[in-house]
Amino acid sequence: MIGLYGITGLTAYFGLFDIGRMKAGDTVVVSAAAGAVGVIAGQLARLAGARVVGIAGGPEKCAWLTQDLGYHAAVDYKAGDFQKALGRACPDGVDLYFDTVGGRVLDAALRVMKQGGCVVCCGAIANYDISGAPFVSPLLPGVLVGRRLRMEGFIIFDHFPRRGEAEARMRRWVAEGQLRPIVDMADGLNQAPDALIRLLAGGNRGKVAVRLS
């Protein structure tokens, strides 16, 4: 199963609520917020009472996150003032950063974390399609110590025994019209290469899937 009730949705759910221990009133920042996991994580955080800031590539995606999906703010990581814009969007700091990207986006988020905050790591998109050595934040490990941060990675398969709990809660939100499954569908196996290229270039919204006819 793909999408909301598969690995994508379960990663968002358990990353927020089990690993991140998110609570109502938190400021939650989600990287790749228009992507497969991020688009669900942001919606779930909003539904659970957080103030949600999405990081996405380009003004159109950022507008979509705030206007269509109810994010409280969105920041364009491709813009020249990204670091300052993220700070403006999170004036009181960040309680939980949901990271699927790593690299320079993680570095920017670390700079606005609150003391005692949490960084949840479930991906490293920044390193998937690069040549040369990956970027490693010069803040690590110093900022973890200085701000008493908790930074934890996880694999969703460890949480599969409890997937029924997550599915039931998300199905209720979908039935109530509060949670939107987002799938970027391509039709036909011949479209698979273009779908992959679009995914790696950040041209998708939500989960990319290829429908076989």
> For residue range 121-142, what is the model confidence (pLDDT) as tens digits?
998 776 666 667 777 888 989 9
For residues 144 and 193, give the distance between their C-alpha atoms in angstroms, rounded to a whole number: 40
- Listed in order, strand segments (DSSP E) in the chain are 27-30, 51-56, 73-76, 94-99, 113-121, 150-153, 183-187, 207-211
Cis peptide before 161 (omega within 30 of 0): no
**DSSP category for residue 133:** P
Instruction: Report the alpha-carbon angle 99-151-78, nearest 5.
Output: 30
* pLDDT over 70, % of the chain: 82
Across 87-91, 153-157, 161-165, 208-212, the highest mean pLDDT is recorded for 87-91
For residues 108 and 136, give the distance between their C-alpha atoms in angstroms, rounded to a whole number: 12
Question: For 35-49, 79-93, 126-140, 186-200, which range has the lowest pLDDT when averaged over its residues?
Answer: 186-200
Average pLDDT over residues 74-98: 96
For residues 84 and 197, give the distance between their C-alpha atoms in angstroms, rounded to a whole number: 30
Which pairing describes strands 51-56 and 73-76: parallel, antiparallel, or unpaired?
parallel
Q: Which CATH number fits domain 3-159: 3.10.580.10, 3.40.50.300, 3.30.1340.30, 3.40.50.720?
A: 3.40.50.720
Looking at residue 200, its pLDDT comes to: 53
Q: Quick: pLDDT tens for 163-201.
A: 999 999 999 999 999 898 876 655 666 655 664 555 555
**Where do the domains of the chain lie?**
3-159, 182-213
Report helix, strand or coil for 123: coil
On average, the pLDDT of the chain sits at: 87
Least Cα distance to 149 among 87, 84, 95 occurs for 95
Residue 85 is inside which H or E element, if any? helix 82-89
